[in-house]
Amino acid sequence: MMAERQRRKPGETREKLMSAALTLVGKGRHFASLGIREVTRQAGVVPTSFYRNFRNMDDLGLQLVDELGLVLRRMMREAREHVSQADKLIEESVDIFISHAQANRSFFLFMAQGLAGESRAVQEGIRSEMRFFASELANDLRRLRLVDHLSDSDLDMTSDLVVRSVAFSLTDLLGVSAGDDYQIDQIRKRTIRFLQLIFVGAANWNSVSQ
Amino acid sequence: MMAERQRRKPGETREKLMSAALTLVGKGRHFASLGIREVTRQAGVVPTSFYRNFRNMDDLGLQLVDELGLVLRRMMREAREHVSQADKLIEESVDIFISHAQANRSFFLFMAQGLAGESRAVQEGIRSEMRFFASELANDLRRLRLVDHLSDSDLDMTSDLVVRSVAFSLTDLLGVSAGDDYQIDQIRKRTIRFLQLIFVGAANWNSVSQ
DNA sequence: GTACTGTGTGTACAGTTGTTCACTAATGTG
DNA sequence: CACATTAGTGAACAACTGTACACACAGTAC
C-alpha cells in the first residue's frame, strides 16, 4: 500500500514545508524551537524530504525571509496607491499596515521573532528588509516634498525611526487576539500618535538643533 | 563514590540554573529552544534537580524576568544620579544604557528574545517592565519641568516612544560583537539622534496638532 | 526506448529528551 | 537528640530527535 506519490510540480513539498513552519509559528510556537521532524509532520511529508529542499532549519528560515520581503513589498505598493490626501497619510498608512499584519499574521510573527532570533543570518536578513523599507519610505517622503528642509541623512534617520516604531507596534498587535477590536484600535491610535510626534519633530528639526 | 553534596545555601542550585540559562542565551542560543537537560548540564547539576526549583522552562523564564526588573531598576537609578546638566541628559542617559547593556549582555538578550517569545507570560512580564520604565521616565520628565506644556497622556506617549526606540537600539547593540567600538559608536549616535528628534517633536507638539 | 536526474518514500539507528521513582544527606525545629 | 523537611543524587523509560541509506517513480535528454 503506497501513499499517493504524484509529484505534480517541482517545489511543491518545499512550499508545504515553508507554510508548515509558518503555521506552527502562527500557533504560538517559536521558530527557534521548531524541529525538522515537527515541520515535516505538520506538512504531511516524510522527514527525509526535508533534506531534498533545505539543508537545515536555518536555511528554511532564510528562504522565509525572502518571502517576507515579497509580503512587505506588496504592503508598500498598496500604501503608495492609497495615498490620496497628504493630511491623512499617516492614518491611512497605519490602517494598511494593520490590515496586512492581520492578513499575514504568521509572517509578521516570524519577522518579530527573527529580529532577536537564533540564526544570525535570518536576523541580518530581516534587518536588511527593514532597512530597505525605510529607504523606500525616505524616497516617498522626498517625492512628496513634505519635508524639504531635511538633509538626506536626517530624512533617512526619520524614516528609520518611523519603521522601527511601526515594527514595535507590530509586536503589540501580534500580542492581542485577532478579534479584539478594542485593543487593536488602541494600538492603531497609539501608533498614529507616535508617527505624528515623529513628524512634528522632523518638521521642527533644523530650526532647533544641529 | 559520591559527588560532593554540600548544599551550602538553599536556592544555590536555583541560581546556578538561572545563570546557566542566561549563559546559554549569551552564547547565541534562543531561550525558547533551551531544554531542561541542556540547562542542567550547563549548570553542572543533575536533571532532576531542575524540578526542585522550577516547574518547567517557562517558570524559569518568569523568574528571569523578575531579575531583569532589578537590572533595569539599577540602570534607572544610575541614570538619575548622573543627570548633571539638562542639556546633556540624552547623551548621558544613552551612554549609561549602552554600558549597562554591555555589562548585562545576556540579560538584555533574554529581554529582546522574550518580547516575541514563546511564553505569553514571559512576554507580558517583559512588556510590563517596559511600561514601568516608561512611566518612571515620564515622572522624571515631569519633575525636570522640561516639557511642561504636555498633558499627562501626551507625556506618557512620549516616554513610551522613547523607551521603545531605545529598546530597538538594544537589538542593534546586541547584534554587534562587544568589542566593535566603531559600530557601537554608530548605534550610540543614531540612538541619540532618535531621542533628540522625539524631544523636538514633544517640544512642538501642542503648537501644531491636536 | 533507455539512461539519467530530481524528488519523493520507508526503514533504521544511535543519541537526546522530559519525567518518574526510590534513595540519601544536610538543615531547621522541637 | 530525634525527627520531619528540604534539596540534592542516580538509574530507568518511553518518546522523540536528526540524519543516513537504499529504493521508487516521474520527467527530460539522447
CA B119 to chain centre: 17
User: Which one of B191, B197, B206 would you mutate to disrupt binding with A, by most A Cβ within 10 Å of its Cβ?
Assistant: B197
B155-175 per-position pLDDT tens digit: 999 999 999 999 999 999 999
Question: Cell numbers of B208, please?
Answer: 501644531
Closest CA to A57 of B30, B80, B175, B155: B30
Which residue in chain A is spatially nearest to B159 when comparing CA positions? A194
A28-45 per-position pLDDT tens digit: 999 999 999 999 999 999
Q: Which of A128-137, A164-173, B138-147, B150-159 has the lowest mean pLDDT?
A: B138-147
**Does B194 sit within 8 Å of A161, measured CB to CB?**
yes
How many C-alpha atoms does B177 have within 13 Å on its Cβ side? Answer: 2
Give the pLDDT confidence score for residue B9 in this predicted structure: 57
CA dihedral B9, B14, B17, B21 (to 10 degrees): -130
Closest CA to A58 of A27, A28, A43, A36: A36
Question: What b/e string do you get for B8-27 counting C-beta neighbours within 10 Å, with b at 16 or more?
Answer: eeeeebbebbbbbbbebbbe
Average pLDDT, stretch B63-68? 96
Neighbours of B141 (CB within 10 A): 21
A40-68 per-position pLDDT tens digit: 999 999 999 999 999 999 999 999 999 99
Nearest CB among B33, B158, B194 relative to A33 is that of B33
First-to-last alpha carbon distance for chain B, in angstroms, is 76
Nearest CB among A113, A123, A161 relative to B197 is that of A161
In chain B, residues with a C-beta closer than 8 Å to the C-beta of A209 are 196, 200
The full set of domains in chain B, from first to last, is: 8-54 (1.10.10.60), 63-208 (1.10.357.10)
**Does A204 sit within 8 Å of B204, measured CB to CB?**
yes
In whole angstroms, what is the distance from residue B29 CA to residue B32 CA? 9
Helix, strand and coil in chain A, % to nearest 5: 75, 0, 25
